[in-house]
Structure 1
Amino acid sequence: MSVDSSSNSSLHHAFEDCAIFRKSIPVYVALCISLLLLFPLFILVLCVGCQRWRKQRSAAAAGPVTSHSDVFTFNMVVLELIGILGLCLNFFGAYNNQPGVLRVGSLMAAITVPGESLFHLLTCVERYLAVVHPVTYLGLKQTGGVRIRNVIIGCVWLLCWGLSSLSEFSYRFLTISTLVLLLFSTIAVAYCSLTALCVLIRPGPGEVGGKRKPADQSKQRALHTMMAVAGTLLLRFLGSFVATITQFSSDLNDIDKCLVILSAAWFCLPSSLVLPLLFLHRAGKLPGWKHNTHCICLK
């Protein structure tokens, strides 16, 4: 399995284009298989979401409203599925020496990183509001808040496709802008987590510092969500940072660059898992976990 790399020099050694080098193919295939193994997980999340939506429609206004964080999770899962399809097309194009298919696959996979970062950030902002500004949070659960959420989601998708399209003109700009966006999301999520932690450990009115009552379980779980997302985003940023530095380094040859980039990509896998697993945990769909009616949804 090999492809003439000289005909694809304009691809600037993007992560997906490492499939064209013979020595990096085993590592690339292993990573693709790992992502494909996540496919059933993503499909399960969407199926559970569809079941909830049907129950809400049948129950009319009396049914529970889907939380904003769940909607963000559904959108992130769709992004992941598009990214997996893009990797499959990328590998198919490399295997069959079809640069057009290779390019389409790269464009589809390129939307995953900025989209994931933003949907993780939006999820943590909602959790932050639930803990720190509960009145504002309750207001956003109304119709006006749903409209704001939908507009923001539309803007995220437009930004993702816009950044992906820029790779046709300047892959360097795409890589750097995506890394900056990931850094901003990581810092913002860390700030939300620390602020929420300070609120939960701060004594309330009339309470002595060492004798405050335990925080509400739903707020504690919201904090745990933010901390988990912050940790996975930090891992993704470290992996992306190493990959970016390696990509623009002049000290390594093309094959060594791909090997380092593919190795760094493993740090991105936890961020693909955290929101789907938390959603399934809340829904009681994970083996060994009981459904908790006082879940993180903060309904």
Structure 2
Amino acid sequence: MLAEMFENFSLSLNNSLPVSSTHSSNKFYSYCIMSSPGSFIYTTLSIIRICLILPICIFILNHVLQQQKKKSPTSSEMTSHCDYFTYHVVIMELIDVLGCMFCYIGIYTNDLNIIFFGILVMFFVWYGQMSFHVLTCVERYLAVVHPITYVGLRNEGGIRNSIIGCVWLLCFAGMGLAYVQNLVFPACMLISSLTTVSFCSLSVLCVLIRPGPGEHAANKERVVPSKQRAFYTIVAILAVLLLRIAWGVMYFLLYLTRANNNCIIIVSCNWFTIPSSLVLPWLFLHRAGKLECCKM
């Protein structure tokens, strides 16, 4: 059904684009970015995004390299799966910067094909970011709700590496499907991500709200600082991920309405992705003790 709607939409868009752009009739988002208000909004958004995210990503990569140099070959110190996921999210963000640069070049050279290539890169990143966020939520769910299972899986580096490899393969597959204008797969990705993130986060919140085995009924009202910090962290993560998923849902709904005046809204919706891009890097820096001024 979605594929049929998109095909009809593409045909209608073919009549609205300039004759010189008929070879790019299916590149609606490229057209939106190149439009007069859309290009300004996208450029402003991307500059802000790069200024906020790029320094953090470079700092984290430098921190990881320094830690690897200091770590002894015989060290048995374990790195959590969440940190590994954060490393890959940082790499995804750097690839996203590359996609933004392609879009810049396309905007200022008036070339829809270059913009479209930049958008394909961003689709690649979108699948990766969403997948690693979902995996982070699943890890926290296992750690809190099923701690025994989590301890057993924590030492399984092979399973973790296999999952990470599958995510990268998913990114390439998603980029290929974006090239052939397949909207069913990203729609399924949004639905599955929303279900998984909501279930895992709400399950963790329920456990954190309930008194633990060592907490007496008389002390229910006493706030445990560690549980309070964990509660606020999960709420913040859930909020930014739901905001990101809401942007994805809004994007596809507007994309299928066949109205060219939705370009401004579609491009502006990208603002909603900034909080989710920052949350995992900031939490990593907080755990590493690099945000002493922001202690919770």
Q: TM-score range by the shorter chain?
A: 0.7 to 0.9
The reply on whether 1:122 has 2:132 as its aligned counterpart is: no
Q: 1:13 to 1:138 in 2, by over 3 A?
A: same
TM-score, with structure 2 as normaliser:
0.84
TM-score, with structure 1 as normaliser:
0.83
Q: CA RMSD in A?
A: 2.5
The reply on whether 1:152 has 2:163 as its aligned counterpart is: yes
- CA deviation profile, 1:73-99 (whole Å, cap 9, x unmatched): 110111111112112112202321344
Q: 1:4 to 1:108 in 2, by over 3 A?
A: farther
In 1, the alpha carbon distance for the partners of 2:286 and 2:93 equals 19
Q: Say which SS state the counterpart of residue 74 (structure 2) adopts.
A: helix
In 1, the alpha carbon distance for the partners of 2:208 and 2:169 equals 36
Q: Which residue of 2 aligns with 1:13?
A: 28
Gaps of 5+ in 1: 293-299
Q: Which residue of 2 aligns with 1:50?
A: 65
In 2, the alpha carbon distance for the partners of 1:204 and 1:155 equals 36
How many residue pairs were aligned? 277
The amino acid across from 1:160 in the alignment is C
In 1, the alpha carbon distance for the partners of 2:128 and 2:266 equals 20
Q: 1:200 to 1:102 in 2, by over 3 A?
A: closer
In 1, the alpha carbon distance for the partners of 2:33 and 2:204 equals 43
Gaps of 5+ in 2: 1-17
- CA deviation profile, 1:186-209 (whole Å, cap 9, x unmatched): 321221122122223334458654
Shift of 1:180: 3.0
In 2, the alpha carbon distance for the partners of 1:128 and 1:61 equals 31
Select the structure that is richer in helix: 2
- CA deviation profile, 1:40-89 (whole Å, cap 9, x unmatched): 11111211222222222xx2333522111011011011111111211211
Q: Which residue of 1 aligns with 2:237?
A: 229
Moved more, 69-78 or 35-44: 35-44
Identity in percent: 41
Match of 1:286 among 281, 287, 291: 291
Higher relative contact order (CA closer than 8 Å, sequence separation 6+): 2
Q: 1:147 to 1:128 in 2, by over 3 A?
A: same
Shift of 1:227: 2.5
Shift of 1:103: 3.1
Match of 1:199 among 166, 185, 207: 207
- CA deviation profile, 1:252-294 (whole Å, cap 9, x unmatched): 32xx22201011111111111110111111112225146x9xx
The reply on whether 1:260 has 2:265 as its aligned counterpart is: yes
Q: Is the 8 A contact 2:39 2:107 kept in 1?
A: no
Q: Is the 8 A contact 2:33 2:267 kept in 1?
A: no
Q: Which residue of 2 aligns with 1:295?
A: none
The amino acid across from 1:24 in the alignment is G
Q: Say which SS state the counterpart of residue 249 (structure 1) adopts.
A: coil
The amino acid across from 2:201 in the alignment is S
Q: Which residue of 1 aligns with 2:4?
A: none
